[in-house]
Amino acid sequence: MANFKALKGEGHWPTLLASFLYFDFSFMVWTMLGPLATEINEALVLAGAVSMTAGEQATLLSLPILSGALLRIVLVFGVDKFGPKRTALTSQAIVITALFFTYFQADTITYDQLLIVALALGFAGASFAVALPQAGQWYPPKLQGIVLGIAGAGNIGVVVDFLFAPKIAEHWGWASVFLVGGVLSTIIFVTYLFMAKDAPEDVYKANPKKLKDYGKLLKDKDTWWFGLFYAISFGGFVGFAGYMKVYLMDTYAVEMGEVGMAWLAEENIKVMAGYFGALTIFAGAILRPVGGGIADSMGGIKSLYIFYGTVILMALITALIDLPFALAIVVLFITMAALGMANGAVFQLVPQRFGKDIGIMTGLIGAAGGLGGTALIKTLGWSKGAFDGYSAGFLIFAAVVLIAISGISLVKTRWRTTWGAQAGGRI
């Protein structure tokens, strides 16, 4: 709470709010295909196409994540050369165009065209590389955890997807979700245009990077460690978020139907999957700044031990125990909460380690997070296709998180005795 109060006398709150809104709605658009996967597949079948296989569905859902990961690096160049605001406005314009195109072409759209749309939606996911440094540049090191947690809490946009996209699709068709997304994104575009400001040089000295600077940072082993840690936390969050509805439909359709008949008889199973998916994803989205605040108080390293350890335990429970639906939702809720807080903890450490390179490092590490999410979705799709279940996918994820914990143990002493000793915040 003290950290939230400290924000009042620091930085530029309109930019922090604008960065949150920009990332929030961009994240909503970025993950839009996840809660619509079932409806889109049904529409393709009705149009005469073949139903998507588990692998094709995983490819469609993972492509925006992969595209967003790679485009984050591209947008970092834009931030360095043109500033965060111009870069953000250009990226938003591309996304808005893709949304309206999909709506108007929905009746004849093909799977291949959807793949192209998925690539374009990556610009929304790449907003991470713009929104976080734009907000963080206004604030001192001691507040980076909470500031970047607030800006990064824009990932709550995926909750909006799961709450409303299936319901809108049920009444007006899946394409209407893209129309709503386009209209809302246009409103945010205008809001951001008037609220956001790039930090002046007396607050944050611009330090444009060249390709050789990227190469130099890629030679730094800490870049790769942070990439691994964020591939686990953010990759886990966005991967599970993107695949959540498919997972729930494949595993608990009958139980969700029973819940729907008992509580919300008018809702179909796809809408119920959206509601329960939103519940679990909400935990990770809303708790990201809490994780950043905890890391500010007790140190990012100790926080990551706790958050990652929780994720491993929950993943093993999901993989090895045939959970009833209600308990499965609780376990998924805890999993997403831990991943969300780990996101905040990782980015409590990053600005302390890389200082003025926060823009480029946000892009590089954010790209690693997107690649982690892509790998997780593809792993879950492979697990379903190969074994008609998801146990193997969860076990693989738990093993990778364990590797990350081992990595923390390898670097913690060096971090605390080198750059951590002069960083200005708890490590």
pLDDT digits over 210-246, tens only?
777 778 888 999 999 999 999 999 999 989 988 998 9
Task: Evaluate whether 392 touches 378 at the Cβ level (below 8 Å).
Answer: no
Give the helix ranges, DSSP H, for 83-156: 84-105, 111-125, 128-136, 144-152
Torsion over CA of 277, 280, 282 and 285, rounded to 10 degrees? -110
Contacts of 334 (CB under 8 A, 6+ apart): 283, 310, 314
pTM: 0.83
Furthest-apart CA pair in the chain: how many Å?
63
Q: Which domain holds residue 177?
A: 10-200+210-422
Task: Evaluate whether 163 touches 278 at the Cβ level (below 8 Å).
Answer: yes
* pLDDT at residue number 144: 67
CA angle 25, 28, 29 (to 5 degrees): 90
Identify each DSSP E strand in 136-252 by its residue range.
Answer: none
Residue 362 falls within a domain, yes or no? yes
Residue 205 falls within a domain, yes or no? no
Contacts of 265 (CB under 8 A, 6+ apart): none
Residue 5 falls within a domain, yes or no? no
- Between helix 325-354 and helix 144-152 the angle, nearest 10°, is 130
Tell me the Ramachandran region of residue 425: left when phi exceeds 0, alpha when psi lies from -120 to 50, beta otherwise: beta
Residue 391 falls within a domain, yes or no? yes
* pLDDT at residue number 2: 44
* pLDDT at residue number 153: 66
pLDDT digits over 247-284, tens only?
998 998 878 766 655 454 445 778 888 888 899 988 98
Task: Give CA–CA dist 49/195, Å, rounded.
Answer: 45
Task: Give CA–CA dist 334/314, Å, rounded.
Answer: 7
Residue 34 falls within a domain, yes or no? yes
Residue segments in the chain with a per-residue pLDDT below the cut of 70: 1-12, 141-142, 144-145, 152-155, 201-209, 257-267, 359, 423
Residue 345 falls within a domain, yes or no? yes
The CATH number assigned to the domain holding 39 equals 1.20.1250.20
CA angle 184, 188, 193 (to 5 degrees): 150
Compute how many other C-beta atoms are within 10 angstroms of the C-beta atom of residue 96.
21
Contacts of 370 (CB under 8 A, 6+ apart): 65, 66, 68, 69, 70, 72, 125, 234, 235, 238
* pLDDT at residue number 262: 46
Residue 427 falls within a domain, yes or no? no
Tokens of 2: 């003290």
The amino acid sitting at 11 is G
Q: How many domains is the chain built from?
A: 1
Residue 164 falls within a domain, yes or no? yes
